[in-house]
Chains A and B, each alone.
Chain A
């Protein structure tokens, strides 16, 4: 009896699975039919993919809705996620030839995807007047011209700024930073701001911070190098150009606060929760960081001010980077529709209002002026600082293919150097060898 029961149960299970299988097959058939039906007007269907946080998703979906209401015959599918795994997903889709049409790229990895022939040049669309770039800065567009062709349209721009905690400045009794500050003033203030606030004999506030993420060539290092007249890459992008006395001076300058004890020990910074820096945990009085961090700091209870970064000792140098860019992938069937969407996101007034600062300060100078009116005080400060910065000498270098790998290498080796595994010169030697190895894969 028992055996028969088991057998019956097995048969029942098999039948159920067979039924489930059938019903699945049916639905896929239906789906196929559905796909066939829409095949006829598939030309006006485009997929748009980006990464971001909750607010960016909301704003972007809102902008796409407006676009759809203006162009009712166009179907825009949106596909969005967080930063983690975004490029794994994109890479996989592109490898399977199922990539999205319009894609938000990082400002650093366009060249790599171009080298792998995954993006489409946009010059055609610009010539035909589908994408209007007249209000964008030529200097930033130039970063995405590869062999004379343009592959990306910047959505917003960013630079590095000095953020300072007013409370700690008041406590130490020193004046707030001004736009005339030099790095000497900055270091002097950092020494005074390193203090013991609760009187237990241990230092608990430090003057300055080591910015964990963009430690590589993206932020600090690059600026210090430019100020000393150095450059990141050779003209042909085949090798690095910073294993020089200028590069060494820049690296030593970054390490100096650690040696002087005016920034938190690395162990303390490393124990911050993910994506939280020392400025947010109120361990430091000043930090040099990306301008988009303004919004992050605004959402905390820190009473902070913003100033342009201090003036270089030898000369002034600023960089303005796009924060994010839009590209069209090789899988795009209807480039015209993709171009129209990009043009809308960059130039349309309504889109500009709803997207606001979600992708950094808008790259479109007209939009920038218009929305500046409606900003909060801190955001206005950031705007002013970017305007101040742009009026000075801007140095921009393109990001070579392989930069993502170089970035993660620089970050890792920088940490090794800061922890004392190498001295600055050894660091430069190691990095030169490894970086050139990576670059040689792309530039022969």
Chain B
């Protein structure tokens, strides 16, 4: 009896050690390439560091400048909020809609699933952003098609009124990972619930709102938070396609941060900008988590 017990204990200790050893490269990676730079950037945000020379401690001056003397800080924050408000719902609805379609039992479903996931694999790159720019230009493919119906041409990316919305929809095109999460959630909704709904005479729409949505609400929460985090940090597409223009209409927060750091070489100030963005994202996450008590349904 004792022998067996002690042996069990030993293996669990051994397993812990082994697990730790296997995790070590990642732990070192996180400490060295995420945590340490974060601590450094926090320190830099209180200095006037400019790449050249050493950093001088200037207290809260960077933060003061941001709130009282940097109009682009306020402008870019408002533009980013607008982007988040457009991007997140579009992406969520698209992901859920396609997930529902892909949840049907049709032949060759694996192929469709792959096809809908492809944009998420290739979508984030520079090449894709450039392609979008060409497709949506005035003489581009989209305007060519619209002209058949006698509409347009639209200046999707070059009119200050449309550019931000176009970028948001373009970003939502990569709904693949959110879709996969929804799809797996949909598969786990017990069939009995729908059968019960049928017996009670619920229609398709009613079943969707009363059964499907509550049952996948925890996944909606997950996708919502991930979507908001991603949307606040939008950069690549904006930088490549519109570079903040036309007339500053797509001058998002990350672009402001990037230009401060790499055009003006104000590393201290841009670190402060980065930390404020972190706080904003954190605040949004907390608010959503807090509100989720009211609308997320956990089965147990």
Contacts and interface: CB of A to CB of B under 8 A. Distances in A.
Interface string A417-444: 0110100000000000000011000000
A6 interface: no
Contacts of B262: 88
A415 B265 contact: no
Given A267-B138, A404-B263, A416 B158 contact: no
A174 interface: no
A378 B56 CA distance: 54
Contact of A267 (B51, B159, B265): B159
Contacts of B160: 419
A412 B263 contact: no
A408 B247 contact: no
B258 to A, nearest CB: 11
Contacts of A118: 52
A202 to B, nearest CB: 11
A262 B245 CA distance: 23
A408 B244 CA distance: 12
A405 interface: yes
Nearest to B251: A412
B29 to A, nearest CB: 15
A267 B246 contact: yes
Interface string A89-126: 00110110000000000000000000011100000000
B212 interface: no
Contacts of A92: 51
Given A268-B138, A270-B245, A421-B247, A95 B51 contact: yes
Contacts of B263: 404-405, 408
Given A266-B246, A416-B247, A421-B247, A271 B158 contact: yes
B259 A408 contact: yes
Contacts of B61: none
B155 A419 contact: no
Interface residues of B, number: 24
Interface in A312-353: none
B138 A271 contact: yes
B120 interface: no
Contacts of A95: 51-52
Contacts of A404: 263
Q: Is the interface of A mostly helix, strand, loop or mixed?
A: helix
Interface string B232-274: 0000000000001111100000000001001111000000000
Most central of A94, A116, A117, A412 by chain B CB within 10 Å: A412
Given A88-B262, A91-B51, A118-B52, A267 B155 contact: yes
A412 to B, nearest CB: 6
Contacts of A415: 245-248
B52 A117 contact: yes
B195 interface: no
A422 B197 CA distance: 59
Interface string B149-166: 000000101111000000
Interface string B120-161: 000000000000001001110000000000000001011110
B137 A271 contact: yes
A412 B244 contact: yes
A266 B158 contact: yes
Interface string A353-378: 00000000000000000000000000
Given A116-B52, A266-B158, A267-B158, A405 B264 contact: yes
Contacts of A116: 50, 52-53
Contacts of B265: 91
Nearest to A88: B262
Given A267-B155, A271-B138, A419 B246 contact: yes
Contacts of B69: 437
Interface in A266-310: 266-268, 270-271, 273
B223 to A, nearest CB: 34
Most central of A94, A416, A418 by chain B CB within 10 Å: A416
A172 to B, nearest CB: 24
A408 B248 CA distance: 12
B211 to A, nearest CB: 42
Interface in B110-124: none
Interface in B80-104: none
Given A94-B52, A117-B52, A271 B157 contact: yes
A416 B248 contact: yes
B167 to A, nearest CB: 14
B238 to A, nearest CB: 14
Interface in A182-210: none
Which 10 residue pairs spanning A and B have beta carbons closest together?
A270-B158, A419-B247, A267-B155, A271-B138, A267-B158, A95-B51, A271-B137, A271-B158, A116-B52, A416-B247
8 contacts: A91-B265, A95-B52, A116-B50, A117-B52, A405-B264, A408-B259, A415-B248, A419-B247
Interface of A: 88, 91-92, 94-95, 116-118, 266-268, 270-271, 273, 404-405, 408, 412, 415-416, 418-419, 421, 437-438
Interface of B: 50-53, 69, 134, 137-139, 155, 157-160, 244-248, 259, 262-265
Given A415-B246, A419-B160, A437-B69, 16 more contacts: A92-B51, A116-B50, A117-B52, A266-B158, A268-B158, A270-B245, A271-B137, A271-B138, A271-B139, A273-B134, A405-B263, A405-B264, A408-B259, A415-B245, A415-B247, A419-B247
